[in-house]
């Protein structure tokens, strides 16, 4: 789909995967006006194709568009377009257990003009890719390191928007964390460098003394769709859960007191990633003996069950893509 100021979004088309041609002066190469989304389609045992809460992705897409001065898309039309694209590419949806089709909608600014101003031209593209099982055998707890030096995003900056720049700013810390043997960074807030924000590509939850807690929406963390769904599930089960500010000192204290029972990340890719080790200020905190916790496992089983059609969906989260 293309956009120009004079005619709006136009020329929707499905074409084979191929290179795109852009003028070297295209705004995207210089001023970073990009937004993207990530979601998955699952093939059920009955060969139905299910999307998980795609309306939420397109809603968040437009929230990011707002921040980046990118024109809104029609959310219903985008979902229809996505369904058609999946119908055409149905054979690419992998069949094996725990595999899925990853969907990446994105918008880039394409006006050929050097100058800092919102572009007058854009392209909205959706690409698809089969993805394998995230876990080879069962859930594998990850090790994460708390980042003291770098900041990912701040409220008032590009904050909560799902824009390329927020990921560019995270790369240096991710690289350094990887060199130390950790798989993801745990970000702290950019103002006081004290409150927990999120993990590299996931939101974070802790179970402390029987209560599940997660950082509240604050203008800088990504408003994860998995996070939102996990909160709903936990409340449905009657598990005590709170969204609030959580300082890294509180986590350390809970660990010292033996009350840090579980930690897990939530996101489209891994669904649930149990955290087995947290590294902060040269100290390792081992959580639940480095094993997957009970709540993490139950959440993973339930959410993946709903996503793949193996379990009933009491929330109306899954959307079927009919075959043609």
How many residues appear in the chain? 324
Q: For the chain, where are the E strands, in sequence order?
A: 2-4, 8-10, 34-36, 39-43, 49-52, 100-109, 121-131, 142-146, 184-188, 196-199, 203-208, 211-215, 241-244, 260-267, 271-280, 283-286, 318-321
Query: Which 221-240 residues touch ligand PMP, going by CB under 6 A?
Result: 222, 224-227
Closest to ligand PMP by CB, 27 or 274: 274
Strand, helix or coil for residue 197: strand
- Compose the 266-295 pattern: x for residues touching ligand PMP by CB under 6 A, - for all others: xxx---------------------------
Cα-based angle 51, 76, 265 (whole degrees, multiple of 5):
40
Closest to ligand PMP by CB, 61 or 255: 61
User: DSSP string covering 123-165, please?
Assistant: EEEEEEEEE--S-SSS---EEEEE-SS-----TTTTTT--BHH
Q: Residue 158 burial by CB count (10 A; 0-12/13-18/19+): exposed, middle or buried?
A: buried
We find the least distance from the C-beta atom of residue 198 to ligand PMP, in angstroms, to be: 5
Counting contacts by CB under 6 A, is residue 174 touching ligand PMP? no
Closest to ligand PMP by CB, 3 or 42: 42
- Compose the 16-55 pattern: x for residues touching ligand PMP by CB under 6 A, - for all others: ----------------------x-----------------
Residue with tokens 């101003």: 117
We find the least distance from the C-beta atom of residue 288 to ligand PMP, in angstroms, to be: 22
Counting contacts by CB under 6 A, is residue 215 touching ligand PMP? no
Pick from 188, 202, 241, 272 the residue near ligand PMP by CB under 6 A. Answer: 202
Closest to ligand PMP by CB, 99 or 229: 229
Residues of the shown chain interacting with ligand PMP in the complex, contacts defined by CB under 6 A: 38, 198, 201-203, 222, 224-227, 266-268
């Amino acid at each position: 789909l293309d956009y120009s100021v004079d005619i709006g979004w136009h020329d929707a088309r499905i074409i084979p995967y191929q290179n795109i041609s852009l003028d070297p002066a295209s705004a995207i190469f210089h001023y970073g006006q990009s937004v993207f989304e990530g979601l998955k389609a699952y093939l059920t045992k009955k060969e139905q194709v299910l999307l998980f809460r795609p309306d939420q992705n397109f809603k968040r897409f437009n929230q990011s568009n707002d921040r980046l001065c990118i024109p809104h898309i029609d959310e219903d039309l985008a979902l229809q377009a996505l369904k058609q694209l999946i119908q055409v590419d149905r054979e690419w949806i992998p069949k094996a257990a725990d595999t899925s089709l990853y969907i990446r909608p994105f918008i880039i600014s394409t006006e050929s003009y050097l100058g800092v101003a919102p572009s007058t031209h854009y392209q909205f593209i959706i690409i698809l890719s089969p993805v394998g099982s995230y876990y080879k055998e069962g859930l594998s707890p990850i090790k994460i390191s708390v980042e003291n030096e770098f900041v990912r995003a701040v409220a008032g900056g590009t904050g909560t928007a799902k824009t390329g720049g927020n990921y560019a700013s995270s790369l240096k810390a991710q690289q350094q964390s990887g060199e130390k043997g950790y798989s993801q960074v745990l970000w702290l807030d950019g103002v006081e460098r004290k409150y927990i924000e999120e993990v590299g590509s996931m939101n974070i939850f802790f179970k402390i003394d029987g209560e599940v807690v997660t950082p509240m929406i604050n203008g800088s963390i990504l408003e994860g769709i998995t996070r939102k769904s996990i909160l709903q599930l936990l409340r449905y089960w009657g598990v005590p859960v709170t969204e609030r500010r959580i300082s890294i000192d509180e986590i350390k204290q809970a660990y010292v007191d033996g009350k840090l029972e579980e930690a897990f990340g939530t996101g489209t890719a891994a669904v649930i990633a149990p955290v087995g080790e947290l590294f902060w200020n040269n100290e390792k905190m081992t959580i639940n003996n480095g094993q997957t916790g009970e709540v993490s496992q139950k959440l993973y089983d339930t959410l993946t069950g709903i996503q793949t059609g193996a379990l009933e969906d009491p929330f109306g989260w899954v959307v079927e893509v009919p075959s043609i």
